[in-house]
Structure 1
Amino acid sequence: MTDQEARERVMKAAARAVPAFTAGDGEPTKRLQTLMDAHGEILAARGPAHPLTFSGFLDSLTGDLAGLLPAGVEPEELEGVHLIDPDGYPADELFDITYEQQMVLDAVRHKTRRDGSPPTIEELDGELDQVIVNEVLRQTGRQGDYVNGRRSLSTVPSGTEEEITELGLPARIFQFYKPIDHAALFEQWWFACPFCRWPMKVTVHGRPGERMGRVRCLYPAHAETLGAHYMFSIPEVGAPPVLLPMLDVPRLSAEAKVLAPEVRGEIPVAVPAAGHWALKRGPWRYTTVPGLTEIALFEVLRERGVQVHLWPDLDSYDIRAVPVTPSGEKVEFRIDIKDFTSGFLLGEKIRRDKGDKGGAKWIVVPDYRHTQLPYLRGVCDEYGLRVATATVMGKMICETAGVRWV
């Protein structure tokens, strides 16, 4: 087994085990069987030279995911990943990894259908909200309808019923807007992330009389890299909490701020939950979050005079840019922006698709995923794809057009 196979096997087994380990109200026999199956997968990844007891496996689930790897296997991006948070609940990254595993299975399912054999029950169960959202947006077959709908979901993931109705989205899309989830509430109050405008997670810690509240965006890059992570003192009953920044976030470089303008002074204020709605987590994570990078790159290039198209051919890929060089030559860039928590699963999806099935020539990741590039280059070279961060991609297109990025 290669190092890469060991990392992937450990990640998938741990992701399957965590819900069973943390679910106190689940059926005990089924939970135990799930944990034992996952332990078996970990042992297979570690090999006979690196045994791990069942109790040791359970202890390791609460720590760094890299600790489950056999000695000698480089952890790479598994290092520092925790699937259980300090409060004993599944961590935010678990949702991403589970969803991304399903995207890989979905690629396998479509291949199986082309081969003529039927999909499995597990694969049929993998139809996710995000797939339905995209299909509904494509139904009219009109590019303008698709772009307007996709842009609305990216820029207005929460709001009042009136604000959401005014978006003019297809009726079936409204099933994906729900009242503010209880996990984002402190009494009747909620807070929108200053970057993605989706309800942030609220937790309260400490003993009675010493309790403090914590608010953070469920998207780790917004919470940890950009600073959407706050604390508050417990207010008088009925009064809104007032947030204070919890992290001293390093300032972005001038080049990085082109796509991610700073909102350091914009402290979210408490909003009453009554009458407010928000997207379900799947469409938010896989439409709103990547859409922010896609729209930002599109807008910046358009402002600089580059001919650019957003989600061409009903989202065959994300951006088609055609800068004209100072000598008059047109150069085409076909870009697919991928925001996967796991670079390994993104690489596996590219392999399953045998490249980019929409016809993109560039795989672009947000700047905060830059550590994925070395691995992705190795995967993409096989299929004639090139990789870059969003800022590097934007700079390259601007340089081709002879215009300034900053």
Structure 2
Amino acid sequence: MNGTVQSDASRMTAQRARSMVMLAMAMANEAMHDGGYTPWQRVQTLTESHGLVMTAHGPGEHISFAQFRELIDTHLQDMLPSWVEAADSDHLRVVDDRGYLTDTALDALAEDSDIDYLIEKLHATQNGRVTLQMVVDNQAQERMFTTLRGRFPDSYTELRRALVENASLDTDRLKRLALPDDLLDCYTPIRPDAVHHGLWWPCPVCAWPMRVTHYQGSLEHYRVACADERHAETGASYLFTPSNASAPALEPAGSPSRVPEREQAMFLDPMAKGIPQALPEEEHRALKRGVWKFTVLPGLCELRMYQVLSELLGPLGKKASVVLWPGTDSYDLRVQVVGPDGASVVFRVDVKDYRSGTRLAEAVDLAGGDKGGAEWLVVPDHRSGQVDILSGVCADYRMRVATATGFINQVCRTTGIEMPGRNQDA
């Protein structure tokens, strides 16, 4: 590696370079495939995107505009500078075969702590397209939390729970929720990629509109699946074939992944409510993607943990308490129990649901641990592969890491309460 690139690498961190390249590929693909761009806006966005990639590579590595155009719809790793060491997210496809941003890419962008910094450095186009929908959603998420944080604790918990439990709903129910205007702004019409001839389907787990994908071939068909990969792989994935019927009949798409017995208490089964029915597009609203991603998904895990722990600890009476989102969300759960030896133990828990363990570890390190005072970082059971990398970072800030089921098992061991599957670590 020559000295010029080494010098540039010392100024440009690998994560900042990765963020620049990922955002550039997302911006460029949106410009190429979104019919709402004028020719001038498309050229300007492509030029700015190429400039981001050039900045990430540094003066020691050159990537021509022609090369950039060829690589914008490939894997992230194909566009990265040679000096950036591989990470778990580098193999992702930024767009699918139709030119749409993949859910994996959207999640990676949303989880990236460097994106806000980069957005501030970009030139804004006249209609703000350079920010992409994910930036708009993240801003909506931040506005949502700003609105909630100004509430008294009881009101905060009530409103936040309303969002978690109503990722989509009809307009009449939305009015009856009587949400503050800033929270009403979190709801928008059903997005186009979830609509088929004026109809859409809610995920049976999170209630967010499922994406409809059209496949042509020897047998033309459609796939309807939740954007959350866990919900989709455990049952929230369906197929239907074109017909003249007023509402297509969904059928399960294959066999869902099995969940270990030890995780059943925390498992939210997509098949428990049956196959979802089609709903009219015009009469419904859904949360913006950023609010769904950062509030609904972890919120479902937080609520389930609260319910499971409340049930398990109920027989202890006043010797145990479980509080959801204490202190207007200083952290997510506060569990206090009295052990068999009479000593009181308090667990302060922050729940995080990131697709990338590496990005979550970076976010924890950047924040210097948990600013709200949590001593436990808990991830959903299906993110168990993240525990090791998170434990290494969290140890520096005196935090412990566990899956949801693993944490519940720890509480049970502390109190001496039996839990199904407690001898099986999660």
Match of 2:190 in 1: 180
State the AA in 2 paired with 1:36.
H
Count of residues in Structure 1 that have an aligned counterpart in Structure 2: 383
Question: 1:342 is matched with which residue: 337, 349, 356?
Answer: 356
Question: Which of the numbers 272, 277, 282 marks the counterpart of 2:280?
Answer: 272
Q: Which whole-Å CA distance do the structure 1 matches of 2:373 and 2:26 have between them?
A: 37
Choose the corresponding residue for 2:248, options 241, 245, 248. Answer: 241
1:130 aligns with 2:137: no
Does 2:341 match 1:327?
yes
Structure 1 window deviating more from structure 2 (276-285 vs 191-200): it is 276-285
- Aligned alpha-carbon RMSD (Å): 3.0
C-alpha distance after superposition, 1:19-40 (max 9, x if no partner): 3134234323213313322432
Q: Unaligned stretches of 5+ in structure 1?
A: 110-121
* 1:304 partner SS: helix
CA distance change for structure 1 residues 282 and 73 in 2, over 3 Å: closer, same or farther?
closer
Change (3 A) 1:10 1:298: same
Whichever residue aligns with residue 15 of structure 1, its letter is L
State the 1:82 CA deviation.
1.8
Alignment-derived partner of residue 18 in structure 2: 10
Question: Which residue of the other structure, out of 221, 227, 234, is the alignment partner of 1:226?
Answer: 234
More divergent stretch after superposition (378-387 vs 392-401)? 378-387
Q: For residue 364 of structure 1, what is the amino acid of its counterpart?
A: V
**2:223 aligned residue:** 214
- Classify 1:175/1:35 alpha carbon distance in 2 versus 1 (closer, same or farther; 3 Å): closer
Report the CA distance shift for 1:274/1:29 in structure 2 as closer, same or farther (over 3 A): closer
C-alpha separation in 2, matches of 1:363 and 1:134: 20
Spell out the pairing of 1:5-404 with structure 2 (5 A cutoff): 5-6=13-14, 9-23=17-31, 24=33, 25=35, 26=37, 27-44=41-58, 55=66, 57-68=68-79, 75-78=86-89, 80-101=91-112, 105=116, 128-141=139-152, 143-206=153-216, 211-223=220-232, 225-236=233-244, 239-264=246-271, 266-305=274-313, 306-404=320-418
Distance 1:63 1:405 in 2: 47
In structure 2, list runs of 5 or more residues that go unmatched.
Answer: 1-8, 121-130, 314-319, 421-426
Conserved? CA contact 1:362–1:387, under 8 Å:
yes
**Partner amino acid for 2:328?**
L
Distance 2:271 2:182 in 1: 36
One-letter identity of the residue aligned with 2:104: E
Shift of 1:400: 1.1
Report deviation, 1:96: 2.3
Instruction: Give the drift of 1:195.
Output: 1.0
Contact 1:137 1:170 in 2 (8 A): no
- What secondary structure is seen at the aligned counterpart in 1 of 2:188? strand
CA distance in 2, matches of 1:232, 1:252: 26
Given that residues 164 and 296 in structure 2 are in contact (C-alpha distance below 8 angstroms), is that contact kept between their aligned partners in structure 1?
yes
Identity %: 32
